[in-house]
């Protein structure tokens, strides 16, 4: 068919369904691939209407395939503890001590506050109030939020700020950033990612594949462990800086999945 105006919504829906089902000459597409194809079709029809080539958008009421909800990856508490320990001991001394103190403080800060990686590397000294145990995080859309800093993260930050950061800062020209690189400048997102990857490898955690540890893994773990501990989902929403509680509720699915796993492996009548 070459007449775009003659295409109906039913034909578009049938086309998307055919992509999902496949045929002898074409393998079936995943929901994500079919959704991208449907998006391309919708874009073509919107363009045709905007340019006056067709009188109406036949794709407007065609919904793309529903994508499976991907649950956030969260580490067990023991895995988080192992990761933090390998990042660098708080009593680090000798050559390389400033970097080890920084690495430990960075990962403790990520897990202890639920900060995004951009919020961590963007944090300034004035954003920290270690006496009060709080930090101001500068999030998406220019929004800021005040979050508590746990005792372990506070101790790691204090050790780094007293015994690590001054040595790193001496190589630079002065910056208010909390986390510095070896040249005394602000630590980049890429460098922070490298620090985490190195610690994950040392801890025996995956750094490749679907279960690979990433900076967001600590944020996911932070939220999941709070909910596991009984925190209200709206409190977690505020701590994470989510604009909508719907975004936060995905973590409740993680905890339900974990409960199912425990039940399936522990209850004598769970199998069958």
Annotated catalytic residues are 116, 140, 216, 219, 242, 251
DSSP the chain: ---GGG--HHHHHHHHHHHHH-BTTBPPPPHHHHHHHHHHHHHHHHHHHHTTSSSS-TTTTPPPPPPPPPPPP---HHHHHHHHHHH--TT--STTHHHHHHHHHHHHHHHHH---HHHHHT-BGGGEETTTTEEEEE-GGG-EEEEE--HHHHHHHHHHHHHTHHHHHTTSS---BSSB-TTSSBPPHHHHHHHHHHHHHHTT---SSTT---HHHHHHHHHHHHHHTT--HHHHHHHHT-SSHHHHTHHHHHHHHHHHHHHHHH-TTS--
């Amino acid at each position: 068919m070459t007449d775009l105006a003659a295409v109906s919504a039913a034909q578009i829906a049938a086309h998307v369904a055919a992509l999902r089902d496949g045929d002898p000459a074409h393998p079936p597409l995943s929901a994500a691939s079919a959704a991208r194809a449907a998006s391309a079709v919708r874009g073509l029809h919107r363009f045709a209407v905007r340019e006056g080539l067709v009188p109406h958008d036949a794709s407007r009421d065609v919904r793309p395939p529903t994508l499976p909800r991907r649950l956030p990856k969260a580490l067990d508490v023991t895995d988080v503890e192992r990761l933090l320990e390998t990042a660098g001991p708080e009593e680090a001394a000798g050559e390389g001590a400033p970097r080890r103190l920084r690495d430990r403080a960075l990962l403790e800060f990520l897990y202890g506050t639920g900060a995004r990686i951009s919020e961590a590397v963007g944090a300034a000294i004035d954003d920290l109030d270690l006496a009060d145990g709080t930090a101001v995080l500068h999030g998406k859309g220019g929004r800021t939020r005040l979050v508590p800093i746990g005792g372990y993260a506070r101790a790691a930050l204090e050790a780094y700020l007293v015994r690590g950061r001054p040595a790193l800062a001496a190589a630079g020209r002065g910056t208010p950033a909390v986390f510095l690189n070896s040249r005394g400048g602000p630590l980049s997102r890429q460098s922070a990612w490298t620090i985490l990857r190195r610690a994950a490898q040392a801890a025996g955690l995956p750094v490749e594949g679907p279960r690979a540890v990433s900076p967001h893994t600590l944020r996911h773990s932070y939220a999941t462990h709070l909910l596991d501990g009984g925190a209200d989902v709206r409190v977690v929403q505020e701590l994470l800086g989510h604009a909508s509680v719907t975004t936060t509720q995905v973590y409740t699915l993680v905890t339900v999945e974990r409960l199912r796993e425990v039940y399936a492996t522990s209850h004598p009548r769970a199998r069958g």
